[in-house]
Structures are given as C-alpha cells and as structure tokens.
Amino acid sequence: MSGPERLPVATGRRSTAAVWQALSGRRALLIFAAAISAGAAALELVTPALLGTIVDDISDGGENRPIWLYGGLIAAAVIAASALSVLGVLLASRVLERLLATLRERLVTTALRMPQERVERSGTGDLVSRASDDVAQVSEALSQVLPSLSRTVFTIILTLGGLFLLDWRFGLTFLAAVPLYWFALRWYVRLAPPLYAAERAAFGTRAHHLLSALKGLDTVLAYRLSGWHSVRIALSSWAVATWALRARTVQTMFAWRIDLAFVAVLSTVLFVGYGLVGADLVTVGAATTAVLYFLRLQGPLRGLMIEIDTLQAAAASLARIIGVTDLGSTRDAAEATDAAESADGQPGGHVRVNSVRFAYQGGTDVLHDVSLTIPAGQRVAVVGTSGAGKTTLAALIAGIHRPSTGTVDAPVDTMLVSQETHIFSGTLRDNLTLAAPDVDDKDLVTALTRVGAADLLEELTLGLDSPIGVQGHPLTAAQEQHLALTRLLIADPDLAILDEATAEAGSAHAAVLDRAAEVVLQGRTGVVIAHRLSQAAACDRIVLMEQGRVLEDGSHDALVAAGGPYSRLWAAWNANRTPHT
C-alpha cells in the first residue's frame, strides 16, 4: 500500500524568488533597517578601540586625557548602539511581519481553494502542519533571527575593517582563518537541510495520524482500534524525535567546529600581536584592541551558528509553504476553479454530467459512464443503496472532485450542504453571515423564520449576538442542520446540493427539516441525495443509482408505475413505515 502523495515542496531558488516578490514595495525600508543595524555594529567597535587607547596612555605614562572622558565616550557609544539596534530591529520586524502575513494569507487562500481530492491524497495532516508548525517556524526566523543575523554579519565585516586599520597583518590573520569557518559552514549546510526537511515531513505524518484518529474517534472506539492508532501515532512521534535528534547532533558538531576555529584564530592573533609589539610595529594598545575585537567576535560567531541553524529549519518550512502557495498558479489550483470555468454557458442553474467515470486515489471506478442533464429550476433526487455512488456524484457536481473521464458542467454559484455541519465558534450572526457578509439582521431573522428555525432565536438570550459552538450555546444535530439550511437560503445560489442534509431520520425533527429543505430549494435547481424516499417523492424527478450506474430516471409516479427497482424500493419503504404510522 503506497503512502500519501505529499503536497509539493519548493526549491530554494523558488523560495527566494517568492520572498523577494512578496517584499515588493517594502524593500527600501528593509534596506534602511539594515543600514541602521550596520551603524549599531560600527558603534560597538568604539569600546574596544578606546580601551586600547587607554592601555597606550597608561603604557606611555601620559595623562593628556582624563579617564572620565573615555568613560563618557564609551557610555555614549553603548547607548547610541543600543538605540540604533532597537530601531533597526523594530523597522525590520515591521517589514518581516507583513511579509509573514502575506505568506500566511496566500497559504490559507490556496488551501481553501484546493480541491478536497488533492487534500485527501496528501493527507490532512500535511496541510495542517504547513499552516501551523511551518508558519510558526518561519515566523520565529523572520521576527527574531533575520534582524539579528544582519547585525552579526555587519559586526564581522566592520571588525575585519577595524583590524586592517590597526595593522594589515591582523586583518590577514582573520582572513587566513576564514577557510576554517567556511569548511565548518559548508559541512553543516550539506548535512542540515535534508535533516530539517525530513523532520518537517515527519511532523506532517504525525499530524495526519493524529487527526485521522481524532476525526474518527467514535469508529476507533467502536471497533476497539485505539491500540492500533496509538501505535501509529507513537511510531510517527518517534520518527519526529529521531530526525530531531539527528539534527541536534549535527548542530552540536557544528558548534564544536566553530569553537575550535575560534580558539585557533585567537591564539594566532595573540602570537601575531606579541611579535608585532616586540618588533615595535604596533603599540600594546593596538594589540590589545585587536584581541578585544576577536574576543567580541565570539558571541556573534556563536550567534551566527544558532541563527544559521534556525534559518535552515525555517528554509525547509518556507519551502513547504511556498510549495502550497504556488499551487495557486499551477494545474492543481486550476482544479479548484475548473467548476467555475466550465460553468460558462450554464446560466440559471443548468447542470450537465456527460459520460463521467471517477475513481478515488488508488482505487477502482466508483462511477461508470454516468450521464445526467438537469434543466434550470428542476429538483432532482438521487436515491440508491449505500455505496451506489450518490455522494460521489454530488461531490463531482459541486466541483469538489474532478472526473477521471467525461465532463461536468455546473453553475459557478453552487452550494453543497452535507450531513456533517460545522459550527464555528462565534455568534449566531457570525455563523449565518458566512454565506453573505452584507446581509442585515432583519433578513437573517426572516431566513430563520422561513426555514422554521425561529425557535432557536427564542432559546438564545442574546438573539443573533448569542455565542454558539464549542464555547457558546450547544446546538443539537437538528439545529445544526437547520442552521446549515439557513446559510444556504441566505447565500441564494443557483444550484443547491443537499447531501443527506436533513439526516435526522426517525426523530421528531425529520418532518421539520424536510419542510426546511423544500423552502430552500424553491426557485432554484436542486440535487437532493435522499436517505428517505419521502424526500425523493417530493422532487420533480428521481434518479436511481446502483454500483455507480444510473438504473432509472424519471418522475416518482412514472417510476412507481414502471414496476422496476425504484417501485420495489418504494413498496419496501411504505411497508416499513406502516407499523409506525
């Protein structure tokens, strides 16, 4: 059995180009922030230089300058450097947080437009981990690491310039040590990115297994599959820990190489300074300043190591985010808008399904050469036994899936209501205006009244302002379905698809929900996946499906009179209802 088909991951070049494009209009401010950080780094060189001057004054026995003057200059330099550093970080954070917001919005927009079939092929956890863990990783790098990294780079460059000003041999000593850092960095960059990419992918797999178990918790408990799912989650969690441990091991070895290079360079500087002072080529103060310059590089070099480590993880996460956002301009994103494009020439709710075959990923065909034409304004009920392909047909018409072969033409303005209704945390008004944000309260109350849900308003003490959902007033399954039908009425689409949207069979609410369904279907084309034949009988036309094929198609009276499969189903339905009526 093959694993899930992961969502794409962008290359490093593509990630860089996407970030550069997202910075359009804000690049100048980012450059200005970098210049301020460079100024802060330059001011930090003042203290070692002044300390070296003090050493020379003491060595020469001169008292030309009072010590308090040096102290004042050092204090002023520290204060100015701190102020510029804070300003640079604030400006950079302003730009980078907007960049992050742009990337996050593009990710969410693409994810919402992505065909459900594509999400199912990759596993829900893969997409969720990109929208949560990967965004958090990039957020940390953008808000904390990049401003600090720019300052560290400027510190290293300016320190090198300061060493050359003291004596060219100090500068050459530092340049001679650059290969040590370069080889350490090259070794790290070669090993780290694949480890971080594998770690992020392991996060996605773990999220997929965890969400699968939670989403189907009732089934897991009913079939006593808790142990099996726990093992899957544990193994995926161990995979995350394994990749994380490997990454931390490489990080530790990198730090050891950086420290070793620093010790070697500092020792060389001490020997060079000793020789230059002995030859009267530089003063003791100059040698002291050179050593202090190198000592103050230890923090930036160590910080550079940590920042590069974070950037490697962030780069892997960024590539996963860009891989999703790029779907907005590729064929996968075209799948999401295919229904809208194919709807040209299908005004007023007209639907045409032509020779459609469909199979889920890695499976056999569940629909076989299905053709169906629904004129505008007609209500069609699709009936059949479980597994006949009714829900799959509804998903194809709604544009959730694309047919393997054949074509599906449906209106752009199509709305699907299924049995699984999601209630968002918020007020009743918030949940209703999802369908049409500009609808006023009067129209909301009218819609609730028309579908027979006015009693819900009476239950809620704050009316439309009452919080509902997990953190608010709890709703029954019937009330949730009522709410979904109200959303459809408010949205007023050309085509309404009800996939067992009133599945309160056998309850006191069944008749009420059926009447609500009739109200929302008035004046529009409707496709009803009916679980009760009484719903089908109320429609203009009935399509009977079995094993992915259309067996019968006609009005209720015509199909009953024909004495075929539907007639037998109708007879069985009435026989089962008789004892209860």
For the stretch 105-152, pLDDT in tens is: 888 888 777 776 677 667 667 777 788 778 888 887 777 676 677 777
Examine the fold and report which residue of 270, 294, 325 is the final residue of a domain before the chain moves on: 325
Together in a domain, 349 and 308 = no
Sign of the torsion angle spanned by Cα atoms 532, 534, 537, 539: negative
pLDDT at 333 over 70: no
Q: How far is residue 526 CA from its own chain's centroid?
A: 34
pLDDT at 337 over 50: no
At 397 the pLDDT is 92
* Confidence class for position 405, pLDDT limits 50, 70, 90: very high
Supply the DSSP symbol for 48. Answer: H
Residue pLDDT, tens place only, 497-515 = 998 767 654 455 677 888 8
Examine the fold and report which residue of 263, 290, 325 is the final residue of a domain before the chain moves on: 325
CB 477 within 8 A of CB 423: no
Nearest to 398 by CA among 417, 409, 414, 382: 414
d(CA 414, CA 393): 14
At 505 the pLDDT is 46
Together in a domain, 384 and 346 = yes
Q: Lowest mean pLDDT: which of 316-330, 378-392, 452-466?
A: 316-330
Examine the fold and report which residue of 269, 292, 325 is the final residue of a domain before the chain moves on: 325
CB 431 within 8 A of CB 473: no
pLDDT at 248 over 80: yes
Tokens 């499906």 belong to 545
pLDDT at 338 over 60: no
At 363 the pLDDT is 74
Together in a domain, 344 and 229 = no
Averaged pLDDT for residues 331-346: 45
Together in a domain, 383 and 422 = yes
pLDDT at 286 over 60: yes
Q: Please check whether residue 1 lies inside any domain of the structure.
A: no
Q: Lowest mean pLDDT: which of 64-68, 135-139, 214-218, 447-451?
A: 64-68
At 364 the pLDDT is 85
Nearest to 551 by CA among 563, 560, 543: 543
At 317 the pLDDT is 85
Averaged pLDDT for residues 29-48: 82
Supply the DSSP symbol for 8. Answer: P
d(CA 531, CA 535): 8
| Encoded tokens for 577 | 């209802």
Q: Letter for the amino acid at 271?
A: F
Together in a domain, 267 and 372 = no
Please tell me which of 251-260, 264-273, 387-396 the model is most confident about, judged by mean pLDDT: 387-396
At 165 the pLDDT is 84
At 508 the pLDDT is 57
Q: Please check whether residue 408 lies inside any domain of the structure.
A: yes
Q: Please check whether residue 19 lies inside any domain of the structure.
A: no
Together in a domain, 363 and 495 = yes
At 507 the pLDDT is 55
Together in a domain, 310 and 355 = no
Q: Lowest mean pLDDT: which of 129-143, 239-253, 388-402?
A: 129-143
Averaged pLDDT for residues 156-174: 83
Together in a domain, 244 and 377 = no
Q: How far is CA 133 from CA 204, 214, 496, in A?
A: 9, 19, 37
At 120 the pLDDT is 67
Averaged pLDDT for residues 40-54: 79
At 344 the pLDDT is 44
Q: Please check whether residue 565 lies inside any domain of the structure.
A: yes
Averaged pLDDT for residues 354-376: 88
Q: Please check whether residue 30 lies inside any domain of the structure.
A: yes
At 347 the pLDDT is 52
Residue pLDDT, tens place only, 57-94 = 777 665 566 777 878 888 888 888 888 888 887 888 78
Residue pLDDT, tens place only, 542-560 = 999 999 999 999 999 999 9
* Confidence class for position 372, pLDDT limits 50, 70, 90: very high
* Confidence class for position 336, pLDDT limits 50, 70, 90: very low
pLDDT at 581 over 50: no
Q: What is the mean pLDDT of the chain?
A: 82
Q: How far is CA 244 from CA 191, 248, 251, in A?
A: 13, 6, 10
At 329 the pLDDT is 58
Q: Letter for the amino acid at 311?
A: L
pLDDT at 195 over 60: yes
At 393 the pLDDT is 93
pLDDT at 245 over 60: yes
At 3 the pLDDT is 56
CB atoms within 10 A of CB 107: 23
Task: Give me the domain span that covers residue 484.
Answer: 340-580
Tell me the CATH number at 314.
1.20.1560.10
Nearest to 149 by CA among 34, 19, 32: 34
Q: Please check whether residue 258 lies inside any domain of the structure.
A: yes
At 106 the pLDDT is 84
Q: How far is CA 267 from CA 169, 260, 450, in A?
A: 14, 11, 86
Residue pLDDT, tens place only, 269-282 = 888 888 888 888 88
Angle, helices 331-342 vs 67-113, to 10°: value is 50
CB atoms within 10 A of CB 320: 30
pLDDT at 328 over 70: no
Together in a domain, 142 and 283 = yes
Together in a domain, 238 and 144 = yes
d(CA 514, CA 529): 12
To which H or E segment does residue 549 belong?
strand 549-554
Together in a domain, 460 and 515 = yes
d(CA 3, CA 201): 13
* Confidence class for position 577, pLDDT limits 50, 70, 90: low
Tell me the CATH number at 377.
3.40.50.300
- The domain total for the chain is 2
At 292 the pLDDT is 83
Together in a domain, 270 and 379 = no
Q: Please check whether residue 11 lies inside any domain of the structure.
A: no
Nearest to 533 by CA among 378, 385, 363: 385
Whole-angstrom Cα Rg for the chain: 34
| Encoded tokens for 216 | 């189907």
Q: Lowest mean pLDDT: which of 13-27, 102-116, 218-232, 451-465?
A: 102-116
pLDDT at 426 over 80: yes
Q: Please check whether residue 8 lies inside any domain of the structure.
A: no
Nearest to 569 by CA among 580, 558, 559, 579: 559
